[in-house]
Amino acid sequence: MARCCLVLGDQLSDSLSSLNLLEPEDVVLMAEVWSEASYVKHHKQKITLVFSAMRHFAEALTRSGRRVSYVKLNDPANTQSLVSEVHRAQDKYQFDAWYVTEPGEWRLEQDLESLVAQMTVPFELVPDDRFLCSRKEFEDFLNGRKQPRMEHFYRKIRQSTGLLMEGKDPVGGQWNFDHDNRKPLDQRQTPRPPSWSLDPITQEVIELVNDRFPDHFGDLDADRFMWPVTREQALTMLDHFINERLASFGDFQDAMVRGKDTLFHSLVSTSLNLGLLSPMEVCRAAEDAFQRGCAPINAVEGFIRQIIGWREYVRGLYWAYMPGYKERNALDARWPLPAFYWDETKTDMVCLSEAIRNTRENAYAHHIQRLMVTGNFALIAGCAVEEVCDWYLSVYADAYEWVELPNTLGMALFADNGVMASKPYCASGKYIDRMSDYCKDCRYNVKETETENACPFNYLYWDFLNRHRDRFSNNPRMAMILRNLDRFGDDKLQAIRTRAASLRDRVQADGGDAAKPSQEQLL
């Protein structure tokens, strides 16, 4: 008698733990369902990516001799939730047992755990071994540490994997080369991401998504869809990164340039998160480029740290702190998310409109756009934590709650009160001006703080520090900046608060801060 394995949309790995348990006569169930596609209104490109990658994976499994039952979104029999699709398959085929690799999100794990209780045959959740650190190992790392920091965790993983290690010492004599990685971009050309012609599967999914999810955010054009939907395409993206981008990745990791949407970033997060690439193969490819003399240590170390450090660290924190983590709002941030997060034409702030345009067009923004532009604005303006988190989960092609939530709630919004970051990532326009070419084209003046045309990041930044002065006063990393704030006279502080309040009022009333066209412009 046969058993069945439920494979979720982000479990597209040949080596998946649950697939490894199957015998040739067993069945794989995959289902495109409305509940997963709409629990937040995902960007159209994200739904396309997941459905197309699922269909390609199912085809590859079938070609390799597996028995696959694949339910398309528009199948009339589809009950549109994963739990009810399991029940439907069980009623029809009477499997002896079920397996599923643990899902990446807490809410779905809850659903599947209730399903275990409802089933009359065994239904087993198998640990997901596609990470370098298991949930249990991360809990052990946390135990007994007052302030678990990513850097400590990262060194442990460097040692356990041997990546960039010479015996017990880090290659290059340092664990971290971040101080070399903060250059603004010069005039150099940046590479175009690789492209491939869309096959009929992706074309069909694009039509389906445009038809069924017309009110979801984001552009979806067949000519611009760039995300790998197969392992082969994911490997092409990785090769392109290693050969064309990695050498400059470190130097320009924090740079932002108008119209250059991906700079030297790797674009591998979607493939890693779907399971088309494994973290270790990506890191080994980068390490190999270093050993061949094709990329400098600051680039390779910086890149590997993002994957074996940050990526694993946020996943560990997510599982260790959920479900309470999602409720945290340490700074009591409740201002509604401005409407311009959904429509960049509603803001005149070039930095924000660029990050949001990139997000709309590509379901992508690079890390510094996410952290220091959209994230920083939400932090210093005091935007409602839950709404901001939902925005990030909706709009990026690589977004799953296990990675999105700690990055947004913890890193960008400091709503976990310092679990993830030792100080808030708040910055004035000066930082954006240093790292980008945005400010020279902006209606606002980045050198000014209180005037009518002052850069909103400047007055919101000081207003934020002033509002949270007491909370931050016992954080030694904030001492210097609070001393600067203390030097402001009452008049200056009042002017800053008035500017911040009036921007909030304007955005609230209009959905944005964009200047209204004059009568002459309208005519």
Residues in the chain: 523
Size, binding site for ligand SF4 by CB under 6 A: 14
Among 230, 353, 394, 407, the residue binding ligand FAD under the rule CB under 6 A is: 407
- Residues 57-86 contacting ligand DLZ, CB under 6 A: 82
500 interacts with ligand FAD by CB under 6 A? no
Site string for ligand FAD, 290-329 (x = CB under 6 A): -------------x--xx--xx--x---------------
CB atoms within 10 A of CB 58: 21
Residue 349 interacting partner from ligand SF4, ligand FAD, ligand DLZ, none (CB closer than 5 to 8 Å by kind): ligand SF4
C-beta of 404: minimal distance to ligand SF4 in Å?
24
Q: Is the peptide bond before 323 cis (omega within 30 degrees of 0)?
A: yes
Sign of CA dihedral 47, 275, 156, 159: negative
Closer residue to ligand DLZ in complex, CB, 104/424: 104
33 interacts with ligand DLZ by CB under 6 A? yes
3 beta partners: none
104 interacts with ligand DLZ by CB under 6 A? yes
Closer residue to ligand DLZ in complex, CB, 78/176: 78
Residue 265 interacting partner from ligand SF4, ligand FAD, ligand DLZ, none (CB closer than 5 to 8 Å by kind): ligand FAD
58 alpha carbon, distance to own chain's centre:
25
Among 47, 286, 383, 403, the residue binding ligand DLZ under the rule CB under 6 A is: 47
Site string for ligand FAD, 327-366 (x = CB under 6 A): ---------------------------------------x
Q: CA-to-CA distance for 161 and 156, rounded, in angstroms?
A: 9
Helix (H, G, I), strand (E, B) or coil at 394: helix
Q: What are phi and psi of 30, to 5 degrees?
A: -130, 140
11 interacts with ligand FAD by CB under 6 A? no
Q: CA-to-CA distance for 55 and 75, rounded, in angstroms?
A: 14
Sign of CA dihedral 281, 287, 292, 297: positive
C-beta of 20: minimal distance to ligand FAD in Å?
24
Q: CA-to-CA distance for 426 and 279, rounded, in angstroms?
A: 30
Q: 3-state SS of 451-488?
A: CCCECHHHHHHHHHHHHCHHHHCCCHHHHHHHHHHHCC
Q: Contact at 8 Å (CB) between 455 and 439? A: yes
Residue 310 interacting partner from ligand DLZ, ligand FAD, ligand SF4, none (CB closer than 5 to 8 Å by kind): ligand FAD
455 interacts with ligand SF4 by CB under 6 A? yes
124 beta partners: 99
Q: CA-to-CA distance for 392 and 401, rounded, in angstroms?
A: 9
Q: CA-to-CA distance for 326 and 466, rounded, in angstroms?
A: 26
Closer residue to ligand FAD in complex, CB, 104/170: 104
Helix (H, G, I), strand (E, B) or coil at 443: coil
85 interacts with ligand SF4 by CB under 6 A? no
Q: CA-to-CA distance for 421 and 410, rounded, in angstroms?
A: 7
Closer residue to ligand DLZ in complex, CB, 340/400: 400
Instruction: Tokens for 24, please give them.
Output: 């040739």
Closer residue to ligand SF4 in complex, CB, 151/505: 505
The binding site for ligand SF4 (CB under 6 A) comprises 349-351, 429, 432-433, 438-439, 442, 444, 446, 455-457
The binding site for ligand DLZ (CB under 6 A) comprises 8-10, 31-33, 36-37, 42, 47, 50, 82, 103-105, 108, 400
The binding site for ligand FAD (CB under 6 A) comprises 265-269, 272-273, 303, 306-307, 310-311, 314, 366-367, 370-371, 375, 392, 396, 398-399, 403-404, 407-408, 411-412
